[in-house]
Amino acid sequence: MIISLSGAHGSGKSTVAQQLAEKLGWPRYYIGGLRREAAEKRGLTLAEYNKLGESDPQTDQEVDEYQRELGKTQDNFIIEGRTSWYFIPHSLKIYLDTAEEVAAKRIWKDISEKGARKNEDSDMKSWQDVMASMRQRLKSDIERYRKYYNIDVHDRKNYDFYLDATNLTPDETLEKVWNFVNSRIDKS
């Protein structure tokens, strides 16, 4: 079984993906991390890299082809990426959502405690700045995915399980996702 995790910014995707991988003893692949590395190699922030991707499909195609190959050649792993469900259609597709303001405050808290993520916009001084950055990334993502693949990664119909994690703790989110995954493991 392959589990693909997608979702809104700040919804807990990374936390859930990491914890699921640990529970199952499976590898975890993080597409956002690969995109950050690719941006860094070009001396760009992630936002700049996404903007470049609006006119250069290669920035998306590199990681998208990687996902497609993983889906064809491996099994029993967790993959976290907005387009993973599309490139690995036989995966168990999970989407985590959260309200925009809650997401911005979660990300801001994380930045305040741990520092900015690799290649993240460095001029963020508040959760409002985070929200503005999230909106810009979302707009770029929507434009690129529609332009190159004619898909909407936020459409609930694309997923086997949808969870609004706005009012859930990380443990509650993991529990709900785990219960769903576990019910599918039992059936396979």
Nearest to 3 by CA among 97, 88, 98, 96: 88
pLDDT tens column, 89-148 = 999 999 999 999 998 898 888 877 776 565 455 577 888 988 888 898 888 888 889 999
DSSP 116: P
pLDDT at 32: 86
Q: How far apart are CA 43 and CA 45, in angstroms?
A: 7
Domain boundaries, the chain: 2-187
Query: Which is it for strands 92-97 and 161-164: parallel, antiparallel or unpaired?
Result: parallel
6 beta partners: 95
pLDDT at 121: 57
From the CB of residue 115, how many other CB atoms can be counted at a distance below 10 Å?
A: 9
pLDDT tens column, 2-26 = 999 999 988 999 999 999 999 999 9
* CATH topology (fold) of 2-187: Rossmann fold (3.40.50)
Report which residue type is found at 108. W
Nearest to 6 by CA among 75, 100, 87, 116: 87
Look up the pTM and report it. Answer: 0.88
CA torsion sign for 74, 14, 82, 51 is negative
